[in-house]
Amino acid sequence: MMLQPQVTERPLDHDRLRAAKALGFSPAVTSVLARRATAAGVEPDSLVNLSLRNLEDPSGLSDISQAAGRIAHAIAQGEVIGLETDHDVDGTSSHAVMHRALTKAFGHPEHLIRHYIGLRLHEGYGISDSLCDRILNDSPRPSLIITADNGSSDEDRIARMKAEGGIDTVVTDHHGMEDGLGPPSAFACVSPLHRESKYSDRAIAGVMVAWLLMVETRRCMITRGLLPGDAPKLGTLLDYVSVGTVADCVSLSRSQNNRIVIRAGLSQINSNRRRVCWDPLIAANQEAGGGAPIRAEDLAFKVGPRINAVGRLDDAMKAVTFFLSEEPSSASDGYDLLSTMNSERQRIERGLTEVALAMAHHQHDQGRKLFVLLLESGHAGVHGIVASRVVEAFGHPVICLSPHAGNPDLLAGSCRSVPGFDMREALSRIANHRPNLLTKFGGHPGAAGLTLPRDHAQEFIELSEVLARPMMSGATLGPVLEHDGDLDPNEISTNLVNELSSLEPFGREFEPPVFRSVMKVATLRSMGAEGKHWQLGVEAGVGGTIRGVWFGAGTEPPAEEGQAYAFLYTPSINHWKGYQNLQVVIRGIDPSI
């Protein structure tokens, strides 16, 4: 049911190629670096010069001085501070960052901190009416709320908390704001997307905004004499920042700041002085036959799904508790709980994805550009993942709608987009064209969410296509498999893999390198319980036959023994029971060669 991807070569700017050559890499790695810099419109050295000294100063963020001053005052006066964050990895890691900063670095007592995360299935996203009720009725009630990864579109509830409870709200967020100014009732709105922000990097994650505010608060407290000048810096919290940044799929090419904090955070996670919450991840990696250090892809595919699962299906505070574990036993129990929830999430997702792919195929045949999939038996906790699976298969922007768990008269929607199509702007145009159609919406160009009355569903499906089509002119539609040029098979080596690893972290907009080489298939056999994965022996020049693995290629053989193909692949090292073997992870075949 998946469409065959269009194979394209990543563009290469010759000026950037010359700049990359000056950095001293081999020709193959130089080409990869130059192509990534070309696509991002940045200089190659910004992608590899990842010292913490190169982090942008946070003082340019909107309202950050006012926000830091308010937090410092609350600490000095012994106020009750409430932390309110989103329920995904970005939000829960933000929660951990702020809690650790307030308690460990700034000395604010634990009993003067209150925790609030909306229950996704019943309360939805952001500061909902229900969550607002919880805050106002809490005892002790906070006099200051600090948000992270949400709050930009919650003016009504922020105003209510101020009017009914005298609560000041400091918003930290990285989502788009309709007027560019944030909630007028907030005490401060700290965001790189704020109209008055002078911070140049608009691609940082919500957890980094929260961390930068804590950094500025430390500076403010030192200035006011509330902390000594040599008070510990907050770089020790970058393990949390790295997890939230990787999992939120922000750009790893256009943002040097993102690359810096991920590199630093991974170093902490892999060190002997790491937090106990990372021990189960490392133990699981070793048990699976690994031994390789934790990389960004491990945060993306092993930690991220587990943290997201508990927020999607249950209570995200359990993820925060895991992050804040002090004892190995509690970390191990927390990791087991997250793994169990993730298994349940996978079970639900598999069934819904099959239904969604069939619906998407029908809409593709109808010629729709924006797929809107109404999953009547869907699950609001996983339809964002389902939307991502459909985008991977068809390369079209997707909106998945499911019944709202907290209100049968509403539908909840998760949106995922493709390069060149701004999903949040599309929702904004729909809301402006038909003001009462959507109950709520928000998000990024690449991912967004919404709620709408169930009886408006058909009108939304029809109107979304009409308003979205004019926005598609710059979009890349259809699945695309990009590669970094041709590579002589004789160059596939352990040394090449090690040199490529110096370009990490890999992630969104800085994907692992993919090369193209013509190689003959010597052996072929299926792998896995369902036979959907394949192991190939491919002849790689004078180096002989090396192992190739092709995950998710299907139950039918993807190639024939004795035949040569233009394989698209990523060189890697397979770690198994203490042994390391060179292999290529096959991504596809270029049929044009």
* pLDDT tens-place string over residues 259-301: 999 999 999 999 999 999 999 999 888 776 666 789 999 999 9
Q: How confident is the model at residue 124 (pLDDT cuts 50, 70, 90)?
A: confident
Rounded CA separation 270/550 (Å): 28
- DSSP assignment letter at 149: S
% of the chain exceeding 90 in pLDDT: 84
Q: 410 lies in a domain?
A: yes
Q: pLDDT tens digits, residue range 4-17?
A: 889 999 999 999 99
Average pLDDT over residues 181-200: 96
Q: pLDDT tens digits, residue range 457-468?
A: 999 999 999 999
Which of 76-85, 129-138, 210-219, 553-562 bottoms out in mean pLDDT, i.e. has the lowest?
Answer: 553-562
Please check the confidence at residue 305 and state whether its pLDDT lies above 90: yes
CB 342 within 8 A of CB 303: no
What is the structure's pLDDT at 302? 92
| Counted domains in the chain | 3
Rounded CA separation 284/267 (Å): 18
Q: Are residues 412 and 511 in the same domain?
A: no
Q: 118 lies in a domain?
A: yes
Q: Are residues 44 and 58 in the same domain?
A: no
Compute the residue count for the chain.
593
Q: How confident is the model at residue 408 (pLDDT cuts 50, 70, 90)?
A: confident
% of the chain exceeding 70 in pLDDT: 98
Average pLDDT over residues 400-426: 91
Rounded CA separation 150/428 (Å): 17
What CATH code is carried by the domain that includes residue 379? 3.10.310.30
Average pLDDT over residues 223-232: 95
What is the structure's pLDDT at 442? 85
Sheet harboring 398-403: ordered strands across? Answer: 371-374, 398-403, 410-416, 447-453, 440-443
The last residue of a domain, from among 472, 494, 509:
472
- DSSP assignment letter at 513: P
Please check the confidence at residue 409 and state whether its pLDDT lies above 70: yes
**H/E run at residue 484:** none
What is the structure's pLDDT at 529? 81
Q: Are residues 41 and 176 in the same domain?
A: no
- The CA distances from residue 506 to 286, 334, 510, in Å, are 21, 27, 5
What is the structure's pLDDT at 310? 93
What is the structure's pLDDT at 178? 76
Average pLDDT over residues 214-222: 98
Average pLDDT over residues 555-575: 94
Residue 412 phi, psi (nearest 5): -105, 145
Q: Are residues 419 and 561 in the same domain?
A: no
Task: Give 180's contacts (C-beta < 8 A, 6+ positions apart).
Answer: 193, 194, 195
CB 586 within 8 A of CB 542: no
- The CA distances from residue 10 to 39, 45, 53, 509, 586, in Å, are 8, 19, 31, 12, 17
Q: Are residues 86 and 26 in the same domain?
A: no
Rounded CA separation 205/192 (Å): 10
Find the angle CA(326)-CA(330)-CA(335) to the nearest 5 degrees: 115
Rounded CA separation 263/505 (Å): 7
Rounded CA separation 413/149 (Å): 18
pTM as predicted: 0.92
The last residue of a domain, from among 201, 230, 262:
262
- The CA distances from residue 174 to 90, 325, 521, 573, in Å, are 11, 27, 48, 36
Query: Which neighbouring-strand residues pair with 573?
Result: 582
Q: Are residues 45 and 59 in the same domain?
A: no
What is the structure's pLDDT at 40? 94
Q: 430 lies in a domain?
A: yes
Q: Are residues 404 and 529 in the same domain?
A: no
Q: pLDDT tens digits, residue range 440-453?
A: 888 888 889 999 99
Rounded CA separation 287/55 (Å): 36
The last residue of a domain, from among 423, 439, 472:
472
What's the sign of the alpha-carbon dihedral 157, 160, 164, 168? positive
Q: pLDDT tens digits, residue range 166-188?
A: 999 999 999 988 788 899 999 99
Q: How confident is the model at residue 121 (pLDDT cuts 50, 70, 90)?
A: confident
CB 39 within 8 A of CB 184: no
Q: How confident is the model at residue 2 (pLDDT cuts 50, 70, 90)?
A: low
Q: 322 lies in a domain?
A: no
Rounded CA separation 207/245 (Å): 7
CB 504 within 8 A of CB 263: yes
User: What amino acid occupies position 238?
Assistant: L
Q: How confident is the model at residue 221 (pLDDT cuts 50, 70, 90)?
A: very high
Q: 332 lies in a domain?
A: no
Tokens representing residue 244 in the block = 């939230």
Taking all residues of the chain, what is their mean pLDDT, rounded to a whole number? 94
What CATH code is carried by the domain that includes residue 158? 3.90.1640.30
Q: How confident is the model at residue 239 (pLDDT cuts 50, 70, 90)?
A: very high
Average pLDDT over residues 220-238: 96
Q: 423 lies in a domain?
A: yes
What is the structure's pLDDT at 560? 94
Question: Could you tell me what percentage of the chain is helix, strand and coil, using 3-state DSSP and rounding each to the nearest 5?
Answer: 45, 20, 35
Rounded CA separation 299/246 (Å): 7
Q: Are residues 431 and 529 in the same domain?
A: no
Task: Give 395's contacts (C-beta < 8 A, 6+ positions apart).
Answer: 3, 5, 418, 476, 477, 478, 479, 480
As a whole number of angstroms, the longest Cα–Cα distance in the chain is 76
Task: Give 383's contacts (C-beta < 8 A, 6+ positions apart).
Answer: 352, 375, 400, 401, 402, 412, 413, 414
Q: 75 lies in a domain?
A: yes
Q: How confident is the model at residue 431 (pLDDT cuts 50, 70, 90)?
A: very high
Q: Are residues 556 and 512 in the same domain?
A: yes
Q: Are residues 415 and 552 in the same domain?
A: no
Please check the confidence at residue 1 and state whether its pLDDT lies above 70: no
What is the structure's pLDDT at 355? 95
What CATH code is carried by the domain that includes residue 533? 2.40.50.460
What is the structure's pLDDT at 288? 64
Q: Are residues 39 and 58 in the same domain?
A: no
Rounded CA separation 322/303 (Å): 11
Q: pLDDT tens digits, residue range 486-539?
A: 999 999 999 999 999 999 999 999 999 999 999 999 999 999 888 889 999 999
Q: Are residues 236 and 149 in the same domain?
A: yes
Tokens representing residue 396 in the block = 């079209």
Q: 335 lies in a domain?
A: no
> What is the residue range of 499's domain?
6-49+480-589
What is the structure's pLDDT at 450? 92
Block residue for tokens 């090396």: 546
